[in-house]
């Protein structure tokens, strides 16, 4: 995954910078480097994925400019050849080495040209300015803040900046910082023209664009693995990848020892696609032991994010400890585009689209945050095919009336797009439980019961009053908030609010984020 950190000033001691930076060494355990650049510091922890040679170590430099980047630049080889024709020399096979030459040629306009998942900090010596930028969805993390002297800091994770910045702020996706201002270079929720393609054309393009998004994410100089929950999204990623690679892939599933809902479906998919399949079985004790670790690595108090992260963290821990895999492909970002269970209650097409826009804008605080932290803390890299920019852009442009669940089946467009031999029909059309529930309903029940044991009713009432922002409303939410404040004191505004269904819609005014509490849950998770 790699970890980056930049300090834009002259007063911070190297030891202070390094102490903050080393909190994320697990993101990049292969090598580490911090350099002085006169007016600041740049640090890089490397996880070697593309271009494994020592020459691929960052920061990269070009005629006095410097760059650190946590990212994957897709389609970089043709761009690299074009830059060679312009006279640039390259010393590694790293995809990120093209970024300084691109900046030299196009300046900040290069950001809208990139097909990439990235977060970067760049020093422009001619302007004596630090430039920072983040990909349009926010798949790669980046935070910023100012120290006591008013100097700007950037870092991969909030934990890098705890104690260095009074206020830690997520860097907005799709923006760059030009040394003075934040500028939006690409908004993935903005639809210029609504797509009027007919249903079959829409589904064909969905299939083609997702397959292309998966294919480009199979480019790696280290072994690949795949998280397989047994639900539609991860199953499609695994099936397509197996077809493209034409060899058995490594798949991983996790479940509780008592009621692992989706393990049998994951096993069925694995058998169908011929993968080397691994099952990780966890207990109540594993869940409760992992809870404080998960809150610390996530940097959130959000209920559904924490629930879903426990299983993901533990399966990634298994991958790290038991295999040589370095890259994991996941199934995040489908629900935000095609709908959750609760979006069945959307009153009309425009309301659905508006909700989808909100969910895509906030991805970096919830599902994307979960995937990044659970995977990176285990020295692995996450790749998210459903976050492919061309794919997201197209699906967001589709007439929302076609995305509404008028078919008697949620996410119908995606299901119909892959009818054929990609998956068994019953898997393709199955209504899946939410990931935290699918690991086993008992996991969420155990967490709720544990929270109930921690507070009396009087303690709960008093505890909630401590927090004016995002006030806890259940004992479980208070437990998570108290844990969060231990690790990130006073930084609750990094997350805008609890992830919950849209309470303005009929049928969605609930007190728990799980789809289990919705009237339309039906056979999901069975």
- Residues with catalytic roles: 2
Return the closest-CA partner of residue 370 out of 284, 281, 295: 295
User: Could you report how far apart the first and last alpha carbons of the chain are, in Å?
Assistant: 35
Greatest Cα pair distance, the chain, in angstroms, is 71
**Rounded to the nearest 10 degrees, what angle do helices 367-376 and 303-322 cross at?**
30
Strand 143-146 relative to strand 152-155, pairing: antiparallel
On the CB side of 205, CA atoms within 13 Å amount to 17
**Euclidean distance between CA atoms 420 and 179, whole angstroms:** 51
**Euclidean distance between CA atoms 239 and 421, whole angstroms:** 9
Count the Cβ atoms, other than its own, within 10 Å of residue 297. 22
CA distances from 219 to 54, 77, 205, 368 (A): 20, 11, 22, 21
Cβ-defined contacts of 453-461 (< 8 Å, 24+): 454/479, 455/479
**Euclidean distance between CA atoms 186 and 175, whole angstroms:** 7
**Euclidean distance between CA atoms 88 and 68, whole angstroms:** 19
**Euclidean distance between CA atoms 120 and 222, whole angstroms:** 22
CA distances from 386 to 279, 368, 394 (A): 24, 11, 11
Cβ-defined contacts of 284-292 (< 8 Å, 24+): 284/256, 284/442, 284/443, 284/446, 286/314, 287/256, 287/443, 287/446, 287/447, 288/446, 288/447, 288/450, 290/314, 291/447, 291/450, 291/483, 292/483
Cβ neighbours of residue 415 closer than 8 Å, sequence gap 6 or more: 232, 409, 428, 429
Instruction: Using the structure block, give the residue that is written with the tokens 């479906």.
Output: 265
Q: What six digits make up the tokens of 302?
A: 């959000």
For 61-105, the DSSP string reads EETTEEEEEEEEETTHHHHHHHHHHTT----S--GGGGHHHHHHH
**Rounded to the nearest 10 degrees, what angle do helices 263-273 and 232-245 cross at?**
20
Return the closest-CA partner of residue 169 out of 186, 152, 184, 183: 152
Instruction: Using the structure block, give the residue that is written with the tokens 């019953």.
Output: 426
**Euclidean distance between CA atoms 229 and 418, whole angstroms:** 18
CA distances from 468 to 9, 481, 492 (A): 34, 12, 10
Which helix (H) or strand (E) segment holds residue 113: the answer is none
**Euclidean distance between CA atoms 432 and 261, whole angstroms:** 9
């Amino acid at each position: 995954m790699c970890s980056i950190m930049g300090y834009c000033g002259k007063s911070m001691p190297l030891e202070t910078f390094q102490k903050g930076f080393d909190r994320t060494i697990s993101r990049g355990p292969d090598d580490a480097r911090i350099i002085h650049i006169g007016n600041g510091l740049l640090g890089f922890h490397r996880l070697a994925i593309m271009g494994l040679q020592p020459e691929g170590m960052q920061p990269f430099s070009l005629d006095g400019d410097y760059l650190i980047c946590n990212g994957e630049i897709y389609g970089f080889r043709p761009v690299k050849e074009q830059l060679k024709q312009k006279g640039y020399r390259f010393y590694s096979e790293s995809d990120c080495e093209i970024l300084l030459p691109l900046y030299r040629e196009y300046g900040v306009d290069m950001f809208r040209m990139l097909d990439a998942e990235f977060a970067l900090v760049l020093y422009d010596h001619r302007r004596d300015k630090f430039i920072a930028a983040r990909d349009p969805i926010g798949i790669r993390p980046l935070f910023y803040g100012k120290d006591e002297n008013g100097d700007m800091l950037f870092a991969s994770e909030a934990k890098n900046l705890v104690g260095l910045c009074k206020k830690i702020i997520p860097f907005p996706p799709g923006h760059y910082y030009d040394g003075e201002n934040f500028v939006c270079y690409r908004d993935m929720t903005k639809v210029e023209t609504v797509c009027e393609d007919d249903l079959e054309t829409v589904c064909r393009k969905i299939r083609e664009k997702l397959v292309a998004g998966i294919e480009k994410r199979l480019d790696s100089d280290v072994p690949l693995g795949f998280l397989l929950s047994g639900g539609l999204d991860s199953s499609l990623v695994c099936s397509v990848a197996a077809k493209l690679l034409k060899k058995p892939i490594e798949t991983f599933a996790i479940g509780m020892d008592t009621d692992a809902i989706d393990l049998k479906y994951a096993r069925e998919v694995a058998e169908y696609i011929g993968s080397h399949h691994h099952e990780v079985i966890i207990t109540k004790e594993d869940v409760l032991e992992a809870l404080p670790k998960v809150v610390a690595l996530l940097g959130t108090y959000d209920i559904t994010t924490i629930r879903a992260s426990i299983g993901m963290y533990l399966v990634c821990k298994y991958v790290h400890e038991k295999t040589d895999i370095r890259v994991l492909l996941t199934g995040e970002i489908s629900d935000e585009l095609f709908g959750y269970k609760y979006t069945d209650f959307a009153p009309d097409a425009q309301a659905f689209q508006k909700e989808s826009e909100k969910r895509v804008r906030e991805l970096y605080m919830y599902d994307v945050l979960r995937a990044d932290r659970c995977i990176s803390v285990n020295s692995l890299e996450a790749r998210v095919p459903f976050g492919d920019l061309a794919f997201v852009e197209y699906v967001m442009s589709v007439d929302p009336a076609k995305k509404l669940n008028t078919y008697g089946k949620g996410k119908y467009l995606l299901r119909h797009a892959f009818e054929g031999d990609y998956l068994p029909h019953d898997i393709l059309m199955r209504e899946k439980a939410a990931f935290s529930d699918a690991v086993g309903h008992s996991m969420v029940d155990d967490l709720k019961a544990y929270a109930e044991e921690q507070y009396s009713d009087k303690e709960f009432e008093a505890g909630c009053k401590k927090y004016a922002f995002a006030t806890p409303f259940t004992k479980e939410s208070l437990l998570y908030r108290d844990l969060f404040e231990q690790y990130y004191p006073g930084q609750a505004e990094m997350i805008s609010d609890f992830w919950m269904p849209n309470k303005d819609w009929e049928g969605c005014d609930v007190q728990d984020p799980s789809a289990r509490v919705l009237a339309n849950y039906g056979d999901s998770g069975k």
